[in-house]
């Protein structure tokens, strides 16, 4: 009988370990997976959902990587906040070790802890791409067609029948 009671209590305790926490709606500068960001330090946001009423975030961890594969291995070579005590989930400034380069793509995800220190699973991955703010960053040639119209040529070379 004691075994049955212990087993029942163990089953009831399983959902208490962060099972009800879920992170959704990851955005960067209020956009979902934006391209061509011109902010030098992008701001990240997310939303916490819980099956329990009144659940609040007490800490977070953000990982940022240069590839989806590195992020899947939980390697945040661009940025790993570690567990940071904060209730903030809106407009958290990117503070990676290096300044982000023009055109660089960054993959990121979030994990949070609630007021009972229950850890959520990792969020789905999101990404953003830095823009090309400086004129020097644009290296493409102009795309146009060659106009062979005699009316638009050099007036000195213009010869029309009389």
- 119 DSSP 8-state letter: B
pLDDT digits (tens, 9 = 90+) for 30-69: 999 999 888 889 999 999 988 888 889 999 999 999 999 9
Is residue 60 within 8 A of residue 112, CB to CB? The reply is yes
Residue 67 lies in a domain: yes
Residue 154 lies in a domain: no
Alpha helices in 14-134 (DSSP H): 68-72
Query: How far separated are the first and last CA of the chain, in Å rounded?
Result: 115
Residue 45 lies in a domain: yes
Domain range for 81 is: 21-131
Domain count of the fold of the chain = 1
Residue 4 lies in a domain: no
Tell me which of 13 and 73 has the higher pLDDT.
73
Per-residue confidence band for 3, with pLDDT thresholds at 50, 70 and 90: low
Which pLDDT score, from 0 to 100, does residue 162 have?
64
Which domain CATH number covers 62? 2.60.40.10
Residue 156 lies in a domain: no
Residue 30 lies in a domain: yes
Residue 84 lies in a domain: yes
pLDDT digits (tens, 9 = 90+) for 16-25: 445 588 999 9
pLDDT digits (tens, 9 = 90+) for 95-146: 987 888 898 999 999 999 999 899 999 999 999 999 887 666 667 677 776 6
Residue 150 lies in a domain: no
Name the burial class of residue 39, with classes exposed (0-12), middle (13-18) and buried (19+) by CB atoms within 10 angstroms of its CB.
middle
Cβ contacts of 35 within 8 Å, gap of 6 or more: 128, 129, 131
**Phi, psi for residue 6 in degrees, rounded to 5:** -65, -40
């Amino acid at each position: 009988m004691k075994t049955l009671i212990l087993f029942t209590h163990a089953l009831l305790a399983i959902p208490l370990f962060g099972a009800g926490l879920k992170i959704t709606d990851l955005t960067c500068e209020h956009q979902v997976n934006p391209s061509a960001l011109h902010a030098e330090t992008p701001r990240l946001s997310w939303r916490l959902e819980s099956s329990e009423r009144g659940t609040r975030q007490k800490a977070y961890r953000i990982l940022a990587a240069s590839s989806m594969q590195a992020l899947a291995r939980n390697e945040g070579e661009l940025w790993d906040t570690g567990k940071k005590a904060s209730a903030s989930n809106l407009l958290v400034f990117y503070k990676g070790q290096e300044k982000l380069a023009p055109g660089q793509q960054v993959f990121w995800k979030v994990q949070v802890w609630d007021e009972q220190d229950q850890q959520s699973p990792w969020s789905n991955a999101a990404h953003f791409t830095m823009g090309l703010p400086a004129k020097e960053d644009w290296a493409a040639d102009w795309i146009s067609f060659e106009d062979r119209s005699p009316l638009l040529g050099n007036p000195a070379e213009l010869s029309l029948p009389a």
